Structure 1
């Protein structure tokens, strides 16, 4: 191919690429070209190496402090302890590596679920294939909303406009046509060229692929872009900051302990060992790793429900969402549109389709379907149409209303392939939000036929009327049908002997045919989902381009508003709104149904609610929704009927377009954040209990109840496994019955810190109490006291997990006791603790001594007493 493709005509490029523009490539041709030119995908970003992931586990404040502790141990001559701390560093690094690598693999699996197909001509049929399989010479079939999958030259275009901001930075869409561009035309002025990664905002086109993958303009840019640095999510940053604060506080406490001990004249080496134990006790091993796993596990759980979350940080934001802007069609309704009512000047009928797809009149004049007017209406509906009933994959393709029109025409006795053969299309005026009509020009035996469909207000204005009253009557009929929950389209036509100009719709008045009412019943699961939203403090607002009366009717049916609700605002109403006016603000906040709203107004509404301090979720499926999806805190794209542009702009993709999936996702977002909060409280209270045990024992001069190695072991075993189990819990009914969390609040609030200190104090009192009792009353040696304290604190921390259930639930039946991972974690930890006693090597490393029955009784008592004490206080003082 010559380098200046924009200078060539469409015909020249077709010859160069040896493709039949009417039939496209054959299967074998496409396969051969794919093997020759490779897949249509950009060069993959260089993956972070396995070694880089492993080394990152070693680059943290936690590891530095542990390394310093190991060096200090070697310096003091405690070789075993030094090697043990190095082993802990190694175990933590390997654990973090395995978990992060698994999370990365899971993310890659999720990305494969979120692919964008493209439509091409293959063997004369329109086929929808993965964009990676598109090759040079393929004929692309493109419509508004499509993300262009490859570089191409236009063969024909109808009112085609393309958003090329991704390449050129120009925000205004470029108007395209098939005429060759000037020789020195820059990228933004090449009006006959289409580029990979740009988006069609209006019209439709047929184009021939000239470049794929790295050979596209987007590919050339991609080769210049260096791999971006890995950035932490907001939650990871909060957790890292929290860990650093705790570490520095503890280092200060350890230093103070050391200084006070030196002033009191205590042995320096013992003071250093105790201070070292304090520093080790403070380190929250695995906190960031557990948080990442909790988020990634939540994403996988959502993926099983056909909810694809594209960013980890989006899971966190989901939990705080308190306003959802939702579309009507396909989200609150089934998006299974069928022709339900037909209105002609001669009469009205309501119809249904039987099992053989034949028309049956359910109400009205049974003779009307046999009339010429009825047949003409069906014919115009089939002509002003871009849908297909049978594709190569054997499925319907196109706008649901247009598919319904083809099924209606077929049932009315019209042979659709024969109709298109006898009335070939010459031109088209694509539907746009400005004109609100679609028109096609067809060649006929006696001249030309113009077929028009669209909103009744616009179509009727183009028609000839004996009296304006007749036109208003038709608009009134449309209003009545809309009040019954029907979506309406008006139809008109004109026949002429002379070929019309490019402005064939406005050239002369049309003949009005009538109205068709489409029924799109509400989804059954929407009503309970909306009820759940109301209970969770989430405000749901319908924002649609549909008719106000239809929108309000559906809102009543699904329970979005009450049966007597009358308030509905339109885009026209919003034009006169002043958001600084208190009266307009109140009206805006009171309204839950907005109709005939344009994209700019959606942005204004989202901005309005965000300024009120709300976290806004926005559902969308079209190109015009993309700005709003980006503007919202959580953009939610529809996977079934959504455009690639919408999916690209969104944070979340619903593969089944179900509103109940949004509610489920929000619920899971809350569960995930609550899980993270719980395991942080668990880790902090356990670590703080270790700090308190060592500190208070030192200040009270009752000996050293825990050795540094014992603290390390407790942190690795009894902290991490239960924390992981808490992080992947999936049940918590309470969360969707309370208002959403304020996003400005930190991970841990003041009441959480109070609870952490309280939990730690209770465990400390229990463990230090049995240590003192064992060494001073039962005559246990210092080493035996260490052993008892080690097992007692381990058991107390393991059982402490049962204190973290939510609300006023029963102790034996809550989201903690129903979490199977909790029981597995406890069982695993108990097995490991038993192994430390019976495996000589572990027993020697941890300096453990044999235990008698009295010691076992002390261990069990110290482990159980904190749970009992906390539960008694919880019963007496439930508000805390």
Structure 2
């Protein structure tokens, strides 16, 4: 609201003086009352807090239950294995997420270390943390603004607000009173905390410090944004609850059934408990964690750092990417793209070297910026200098050849700057500025190197060219000149000028972005642009890269404020460009997309992006040019700042989800086979076909390496990116998953019971274990024949199969293990028969792929 206050109103409100500032006594008292000018952090998490957070998971509770059951069975080795799994899962989670709460620390580091204030009428340099509301602060070019300051004196003052507001251009500040209620990005008379002074100087009264500043409000939003579970975490949580209920019900049902049949109660209790262990795939959390961790390692190779493990999987279900424009979709560097001269408008790429010499020389001479190892100055002037280099001009030689003798500095009211240069015995003035202002002062126009009187037709043509550039989102600067200058009064220097031409410049889109957006659209992923820039500029960029086609797809932050929630929700499906938005708007936009049922990714690099990065399902920060605040608020960081990297990361994320689902279906169908085997045997009053130690052993060889091998399987990238994003409400058992689990579970149970009928417990034990190893091979691709799979793509599966087979042979052939597991040694012929029976799940996989069956199966999916 202070943008609408006059200086006397500010003095009255803050009980200060615009010339002498506060007294030291008053400043000290205010510091005690309002606190230091720092950003408050949320409660720090201890290592114990992070460990407890990792352990607070349904699947971990199941593991603890399995460990307790194993201890009751006196299977201490299995108890130890389960605790190792828990420790591994917790350790990896703490390491990956231990740095996830550092956004506030980074914000604190961004605050200015010192400030120049006027107290008792004397300028003093103090720590920025001691600045208080009402302080009179002086800011020079290169300073970092220490607080939110209402400017009362300005001299060519510009600030870089791109990290805070998303505005790509340096903002020229003013000390004039503005109307109340305009958007924050339009507060030209307020300098914001942590922004950088680019040029000029200013004085102002501090109107907000610490958490009350605009930066502080962003910090508050970061703290207030709740942490959401990813789709995979929700699914695994639901699965854990289901398995817990199933385990309890099975235990009770089987125990009661044994009591009714007058079986040995202690024996039935042991069988019931071992069935509960069978119902719980204790290797699942470890498999999921390891698969995600391996995915993280692979993603580093495609320039992506994952800060939170579950974010890898979330990428696969993203339906819309909300992207910041400046620095993400664009290069964050102004560049001249069009030139108007000699009554022609040309793309810069078509301008010949040394063409339009007067225009080019004028832009280089009437320029106060500098190139070098460090570029200094206004971004538009730097763009003109780069253009001059590209056109083959040497600015330093030009400056020596035509030394500057006089200058009229740029002023926001006159909208131009002028410089006078000596050319032998004569002097020439160059005037650079807004086209409208210069055109009024031009009586001539340069055509093919000669100054001719300007006609109304030419004037109209220039205006049309200027309007066309503006509609394309270009920032337009015009240049005029006059030779043989004698009178250096401003009216003489800027009257009867010769119009030389115009340069249209913009922050250009990154080269690879257009193709990436096209690929993402084919994969069913939409892209929306969210920016602090003006509507026309944003739409121009959006059109170039294929995000939007018309103004109907654009909306500004001010329009959002005037829109009802109902209308906003209805219009949201058509909107693709959001311009002149604040950090609060960004959070609102992301939240609305999520309420519409979409999984949302948000990209950004500035402080203003941090709250929305946290509010999104997955926040993606830029690694090179991004602020620490954005990086620490995000789930993943692009080390090359390349929007196209998101496409590769998304492909990896989709593949990881497919593999995790393979592992889950394999584990559950295999464990279901164990449950049915035991339950049917007891129901039919048969002897128990498996001992508790048999069940635990089979779980050991199948719940580990085969499941992990499926988790690292190689998928076809083209196939992954042709599919639409996964429905966020889709369960792990969608597309026939439950039917698949039950079918293969019953098949494994049937062949195990048949083997038990033929040869007793050793036969059943062997078939149960080996059949699951064959089942794992078929699980690599449910829609492809095993004969068409490239098994060398997954050498880990080959290792898992033969190692598991070797371990199963060991418990029937090595005397020590034969005695421990109470098995019998098998002949070569018996092994041949048992291997043939165990391969039935793989044979059934091939049968289901027959033309008639597979087409029906796909229709069901």
Answer yes or no: same fold by TM over 0.5: yes
Q: State the distance in 2 between where 1:56 and 1:870 align.
A: 38
Q: 1:683 to 1:632 in 2, by over 3 A?
A: same
The answer (yes or no) to whether the contact 2:66–2:282 under 8 Å persists in 1 is no
Total equivalences in the alignment: 750
Q: 1:299 to 1:846 in 2, by over 3 A?
A: same
Q: 1:160 to 1:604 in 2, by over 3 A?
A: same
Match of 2:210 in 1: none
Q: Shift of residue 407 of structure 1?
A: 2.5
Match of 2:318 in 1: 321
The answer (yes or no) to whether the contact 1:490–1:515 under 8 Å persists in 2 is yes
Paired residue secondary structure (2:47) = coil
The answer (yes or no) to whether the contact 1:163–1:200 under 8 Å persists in 2 is no
Q: State the distance in 2 between where 1:193 and 1:584 align.
A: 32
Match of 2:746 in 1: 761
Q: 1:541 to 1:302 in 2, by over 3 A?
A: same
Q: State the distance in 2 between where 1:164 and 1:487 align.
A: 21
Q: State the distance in 2 between where 1:140 and 1:731 align.
A: 57
- The reply on whether 1:714 has 2:698 as its aligned counterpart is yes
Correspondence for 2:87 among 97, 104, 116 = 97
- The reply on whether 1:705 has 2:689 as its aligned counterpart is yes
- The reply on whether 1:375 has 2:351 as its aligned counterpart is no
Q: 1:451 to 1:102 in 2, by over 3 A?
A: farther
Q: Shift of residue 88 of structure 1?
A: 1.3
Match of 2:259 in 1: 262
Match of 2:239 in 1: 242
Q: Shift of residue 638 of structure 1?
A: 3.5
Correspondence for 1:742 among 727, 731, 744 = 727
More divergent stretch after superposition (473-482 vs 333-342): 333-342
Q: State the distance in 2 between where 1:847 and 1:140 align.
A: 85
Match of 2:65 in 1: 65
Q: State the distance in 1 between where 2:257 and 2:676 align.
A: 16
**Correspondence 1:302-321 to 2 at 5 A:** 302-321=299-318
Q: 1:863 to 1:115 in 2, by over 3 A?
A: farther
Match of 2:168 in 1: none
Q: State the distance in 1 between where 2:421 and 2:102 align.
A: 47
Q: Shift of residue 332 of structure 1?
A: 5.7
Q: 1:265 to 1:374 in 2, by over 3 A?
A: closer
- The reply on whether 1:406 has 2:378 as its aligned counterpart is no
Q: 1:427 to 1:268 in 2, by over 3 A?
A: farther
- The reply on whether 1:597 has 2:579 as its aligned counterpart is yes
The answer (yes or no) to whether the contact 2:433–2:477 under 8 Å persists in 1 is yes
Q: State the distance in 1 between where 2:313 and 2:78 align.
A: 30
Match of 2:527 in 1: 540
Q: State the distance in 2 between where 1:658 and 1:163 align.
A: 18
Q: State the distance in 2 between where 1:417 and 1:93 align.
A: 75
Q: 1:281 to 1:643 in 2, by over 3 A?
A: closer
Q: 1:703 to 1:736 in 2, by over 3 A?
A: same
Q: State the distance in 2 between where 1:684 and 1:149 align.
A: 59
The answer (yes or no) to whether the contact 2:604–2:620 under 8 Å persists in 1 is yes
The answer (yes or no) to whether the contact 1:639–1:654 under 8 Å persists in 2 is yes
Q: State the distance in 1 between where 2:801 and 2:604 align.
A: 45
The answer (yes or no) to whether the contact 1:119–1:142 under 8 Å persists in 2 is no
Match of 1:293 in 2: 290
Paired residue secondary structure (2:688) = coil
Q: State the distance in 2 between where 1:486 and 1:581 align.
A: 30
Match of 1:798 in 2: 773
- The reply on whether 1:477 has 2:465 as its aligned counterpart is yes
Structure 1 residue runs of 5 or longer lacking an equivalent are: 1-6, 13-40, 74-80, 122-133, 167-172, 178-190, 208-216, 353-359, 501-506, 776-784
The answer (yes or no) to whether the contact 1:119–1:140 under 8 Å persists in 2 is no
Q: Shift of residue 685 of structure 1?
A: 1.1
Q: State the distance in 2 between where 1:402 and 1:744 align.
A: 52
Q: Deviations over 1:676-730 (max 9, x none)?
A: 2221111111111111111111112332111111211222221122222323335
Q: State the distance in 1 between where 2:669 and 2:393 align.
A: 73
- Normalised to the residue count of structure 1, the TM-score between the two structures is 0.67
The answer (yes or no) to whether the contact 1:427–1:441 under 8 Å persists in 2 is yes
Q: Shift of residue 812 of structure 1?
A: 3.5
The answer (yes or no) to whether the contact 2:334–2:379 under 8 Å persists in 1 is yes
Structure 2 residue runs of 5 or longer lacking an equivalent are: 1-15, 22-39, 114-127, 131-137, 166-170, 176-188, 204-212, 423-428, 444-453
Q: 1:266 to 1:856 in 2, by over 3 A?
A: same
The answer (yes or no) to whether the contact 1:493–1:511 under 8 Å persists in 2 is yes
Q: Shift of residue 368 of structure 1?
A: 2.9
Q: Shift of residue 315 of structure 1?
A: 2.9
- Aligned-residue Cα RMSD (Å) equals 6.3
Correspondence for 1:390 among 368, 373, 376 = 373
Match of 2:47 in 1: 48
Q: Shift of residue 644 of structure 1?
A: 5.0
Q: Shift of residue 757 of structure 1?
A: 0.9
Q: State the distance in 2 between where 1:317 and 1:618 align.
A: 12
Q: State the distance in 2 between where 1:835 and 1:416 align.
A: 85
Q: 1:331 to 1:512 in 2, by over 3 A?
A: farther
Q: 1:631 to 1:349 in 2, by over 3 A?
A: same
Q: Shift of residue 760 of structure 1?
A: 0.5
Correspondence for 1:789 among 756, 764, 770 = 764
Q: Deviations over 1:579-632 (max 9, x none)?
A: 78999999975676x4x9322587776566545433333444456655655554
Correspondence for 2:647 among 644, 663, 679 = 663
Q: 1:120 to 1:260 in 2, by over 3 A?
A: closer
Q: Deviations over 1:130-173 (max 9, x none)?
A: xxxx9x9xx999889x9x99999x9999355989999xxxxxx9
The answer (yes or no) to whether the contact 2:57–2:237 under 8 Å persists in 1 is no
The answer (yes or no) to whether the contact 1:325–1:540 under 8 Å persists in 2 is yes
Match of 2:124 in 1: none
Q: 1:547 to 1:705 in 2, by over 3 A?
A: same
Q: Deviations over 1:227-284 (max 9, x none)?
A: x999975633542342232122222122112212212222223222221221121122
Q: Shift of residue 285 of structure 1?
A: 0.4
Q: Deviations over 1:708-755 (max 9, x none)?
A: 112112222211222223233353433321111111233333721221
Q: 1:802 to 1:141 in 2, by over 3 A?
A: farther
Q: 1:514 to 1:694 in 2, by over 3 A?
A: same
Q: State the distance in 2 between where 1:795 and 1:398 align.
A: 72
Q: 1:417 to 1:69 in 2, by over 3 A?
A: farther
The answer (yes or no) to whether the contact 1:606–1:632 under 8 Å persists in 2 is yes
The answer (yes or no) to whether the contact 1:459–1:491 under 8 Å persists in 2 is no
Q: Shift of residue 404 of structure 1?
A: 3.4
Q: Shift of residue 67 of structure 1?
A: 4.6
